[in-house]
A and B are shown apart, each in its own frame.
Chain A
Amino acid sequence: MANRPVRPPLLGELETAVMNHLWRGHDGDAKSVHTALGKRRGITLNTIQSTLKRLYEKDLLERDKVSHAHIYRARVSREEFHRDLIGEIVGGMMAGQTESFVSAFVDIAEQAGPEHLARLEALVNERRKKQKGKAP
């Protein structure tokens, strides 16, 4: 299995665009990525090459040398990337570092216990029955 960074690498705007492009299955060299992304943004081929190199150094891409060019493809899937990022957010919450800028639907750090949840489920079901009983 490939080595993974301890903290997931973060992406700038162009890096994100390149990764999204490669995740859509468009493996390619710097020229093809530049044609797809760089031209309409007014970005030079050199910038695309630097971005691809940076992503390769962040362990997010693999590359094969074909003739004089490197063909790049995603080494980490979008799902794996998201899993690592969510892991960092959730890890902070579980460690008691309440992240004020994230409101999760339920408190991830709170462990209400299966018996508490079962009691609450029973209460909800009981109320539901009463509600249906009152309905005309």
Chain B
Amino acid sequence: MTPLLRSVPFFALATMMFVLAGAGIAALLSYVGRTRLVRWDPRARHTVLLVLLALPLGLGLAMLVATTAPSWLSTWLPQLDHCMSHDDAHAHLCFVHLPSVHVHPLVAAGLLALTGWSLLRALLFVVKLVRALRVLRSLARTGECDEGLGATVIDSAQPVCMAAGILRPRVLVSRGLLGQLDDEGQQVVLAHERAHVERRDALYATLGRGLAEFHFSWVAAWLVRELDIAAEQACDDEAALVVNDRLSVASAIVQVQRMVQGHHMGATSPLTVSLVQHAVERRVEALFDSPPARMSLRVPMVLASLAVIMLFALSGEVHHITEFLLSGLTR
């Protein structure tokens, strides 16, 4: 194996360590902040949840860049080359000095297996995504575009109203649902779905689910669910502004939930039984109160920026510690 190829597993392992650290931090922040977070304004909550979802991958990449900073900086300023300060009998995270040691074969095999498994999952997800988007496209193209409603009407008795699509989302509503709702109910559901389209919630939800793969499973499940609920509540608030009545939105949610459950009675999968408060309850109860004040995320953004600056300021120390940890995985 060439020295260059020998260094690839070290970079991969370093990245994994950083992603794991990010997942740990995200788990801790989610646990500590969960009670306070659910009381936030849904728009700000949605943003914070996306940041938490992105934390492992984001922190992993930031730490990789920071840790390798001494190396790529030394290509311009040789006096910053720190590799001269230690021998070659340990792992190097360096573009200039390539390692003379190998990663342990078991570790290398584990890395390969993990990479293969991740690629397979990504491929299956893409296949499923392409099929689903084609289904939605077929629905939208064969439906009737109603400019007055701002939606595509589907010829179905099932009570369906959805915002569908990632890059070009659109609102789909069935004749079955329109027939069972009065004018105000129709206004509410369509305003809610239009809000999803304007907010590009499908894009963020898809992104969120991809980022959730880098979290511990129980943290991922909580973050994704909370992200969905925050998006729904944000759109409920938008719909309430349109009809100028939060109770009408609450009433429409309960009415449509009853229609949908009546239609799919007996078809529930055991996976859908939930021990936590149902999303519909949280949405309805939130509409009983006035909308929470919009939160400014300026302070968290400033703190996050300071953390990144500090990370880069300490890149030398982080580099040493990482190489020390990686040395334990060499043979």
Q: Do A and B come together as binding partners? A: yes
Q: List the interface of chain A (C-beta within 8 A of B).
A: 8, 10-11, 13, 16, 19-20, 23, 77-79, 81-83, 85-86, 88-90, 92, 94-112, 114, 116-117, 120-121, 123-124, 127-128, 131
CB atoms of B264 and A98 under 8 A apart: no
Interface residues of B in 267-326 (CB under 8 A from A): 267-269, 271-274, 278-281, 284-285, 288
Determine whether the beta carbon of B155 is less than 8 Å from that of A103.
Answer: no
CA–CA, A7 and B64, complex, Å: 45
Q: Give the residues in chain B near A78, CB-CB below 8 Å.
A: 142, 155
Task: Mark contacts of B228-254 with chain A using CB atoms, 8 A cut-off: 1 yes-contact digit, 0 otherwise.
Answer: 100110010000000000010011111
A112 contact from B132, B261, B264, B285, Cβ within 8 A:
B261
Whole-angstrom distance between the Cβ of A54 and the nearest chain B Cβ: 14
- B103 CB-CB contact with A under 8 Å: no
Contact indicator A90/B250 (Cβ below 8 Å):
no
A11 proximity list for chain B (CB < 8 A): 138, 141-142
- The residues of A that contact B174 with a CB separation of less than 8 Å are 82, 86
User: Is B161's CB within 8 Å of the partner chain A?
Assistant: yes
In the complex, the answer to whether A101 meets B257 with C-beta atoms within 8 Å is no
A89's nearest neighbour on chain B, judged by CB, is: B135
A and B contact pairs by CB, cutoff 8 A, 21 listed: A16-B138, A78-B142, A82-B142, A86-B158, A86-B160, A88-B135, A94-B272, A95-B269, A100-B202, A101-B165, A101-B169, A102-B162, A103-B164, A103-B235, A106-B256, A106-B280, A109-B272, A110-B257, A111-B273, A124-B254, A124-B284
A83 to B143, CA, bound (A): 12
How distant is B213 from chain A, measured CB to nearest CB, in Å?
13
In the complex, are the beta carbons of B281 and A101 less than 8 A apart?
A: no
On chain A, the residues within 8 Å of B158 by CB distance are 83, 86, 90
Is B258 an interface position by the 8 A CB rule?
A: yes
Pair B135/A8 contact, Cβ less than 8 Å:
yes
